[in-house]
Structure 1
């Protein structure tokens, strides 16, 4: 059987959700094209040194995957160029996992349209531009079994208004997009993993979160990766057009 080729954005940290998904998919028989953007992850997020990606590619190749990668800024508008490079390196992908994101905490008192615009450029314009370019390449290649996944968030966090607004747009478009691309054999879902211990949760915040999880622990990137692997597999095709809360029953939404 042909190995699926999966494009995953935002794979910049060994402890991150994107890396956990890549590990799981490599073990499940996928080839992978990874994007990362160290100017954000290394200075403003919780990123690692730029040598991380080379070590990580070696790890994935030991699992049997063909792997290529590049530094890519979702705000660049170069979606066609990115897909050209993916095709030259590995072929036309049949799966797209939109994991990369931009986030700045902003409240009613600190909200500006410029902050919203920065979120929109990455989380909406860049992500959806890449998604529609992916669909066009997929169609031309004659693929018949595809997946698109948006990593999303939500809730009533009054300190994170711009991020929640931009992710809400992805949630809103999911069922309509699934309806539009289903004729090509593509399933589309929005995936909310809830609070995930990917390196940003300190001990005090973890103590606040744990009582909100019925199983008495915070979610891990591996929890997300296992379910994403199912969605990306053949058995996941019938999950379509959904806003999935795969968060261990987190009650703090």
Structure 2
């Protein structure tokens, strides 16, 4: 039997509440590549957004992944809780014996511009987007067996370093912090064979945009379309695999050239 890229590896993927979105695409790829998966979701956040929660709930994605042969466990948790990141890693260890990688795909969006800005939303966005991601990396490192290959942390930023996003200040401030901390985490963990990289998925068509917005973004992209969740999943899969073993401290855009316009 041909060895798959993630055979024997255990991956925690956060923010996989909707089957149409990036977290679900990453989860599918982890399973296809042979990895055992701890899937995190928090559907109440999606329920608050204009696009709404997945009608089938996160359980529909779990059922899909298990039906395809995946070893999958699911934990619903509010990452505003400072204890939640460590609890996710602990749940994965309880289920599979160890954790090799975390993919901090989750995000809180609140659409606040300067005039609408509140201290409460700034604090909550920081807690979910920045603090939880850092604590996930801390929990991964705390239990990591340095003799094992494949130690990986994949963080997620956004496009704020390529262009202004004035209507999403709490979101971009908290995501920009992850972009800037990536290299420092990578240097700290490199002696332990854990790579740390950051992904900017670009404008991604995950069901929240209307037809007018889809057409406008597609026209601006040199490739003539939006990014798709599968595009992001391919990059994450590569970063998780052995071929990216010497790549660390990088922020990589998977956006079809959007950033170069």
TM-score scaled by structure 1? Answer: 0.93
Matched, 1:210 2:209: no
Residue 74 of structure 1 corresponds to: 79
Cα displacement string for residues 72-109 of structure 1 (whole angstroms, at most 9, x for unaligned residues): 11111113333222211122210100011111111121
Residues 29, 64 of structure 1: 8 Å contact kept: no
Among candidates 125, 128, 134, match of residue 131 of structure 2: 125
Once the two structures are overlaid, the 10-residue window that deviates more, 38-47 or 118-127, is 38-47
Matched, 1:168 2:176: yes
Residue 28 of structure 1 corresponds to: 33
CA distance 1:131–1:248, shift in 2 (3 Å): same
User: Matched residue pairs, number?
Assistant: 252
CA distance 1:7–1:144, shift in 2 (3 Å): same
Mapping of 1:63-212 within 5 angstroms? 63-78=68-83, 79-139=85-145, 142-153=147-158, 154=160, 155-212=163-220
Cα displacement string for residues 197-228 of structure 1 (whole angstroms, at most 9, x for unaligned residues): 01111101011111221111111101111111
Residue 54 of structure 1 corresponds to: 59
Q: Distance in 1 between matches of 2:131 and 2:40?
A: 17
Offset, 1:55: 2.5
Once the two structures are overlaid, the 10-residue window that deviates more, 217-226 or 73-82, is 73-82
Residue 235 of structure 2 corresponds to: 227
Residues 12, 89 of structure 2: 8 Å contact kept: no
Offset, 1:50: 6.7
Residue 18 of structure 1 corresponds to: 23
Residue 8 of structure 1 corresponds to: 13
RMSD of aligned Cα (Å): 1.8
Q: Distance in 1 between matches of 2:30 and 2:183?
A: 25
- Extract unaligned runs of 5+ from structure 2: none
Cα displacement string for residues 48-72 of structure 1 (whole angstroms, at most 9, x for unaligned residues): 3474322222221233321000111
Offset, 1:132: 0.5
Residues 13, 47 of structure 1: 8 Å contact kept: no
- Extract unaligned runs of 5+ from structure 1: none
Residues 7, 34 of structure 1: 8 Å contact kept: yes
Q: Distance in 1 between matches of 2:88 and 2:30?
A: 21
Q: Distance in 2 between matches of 1:126 and 1:165?
A: 15
Q: Secondary structure at the match of 1:150?
A: strand
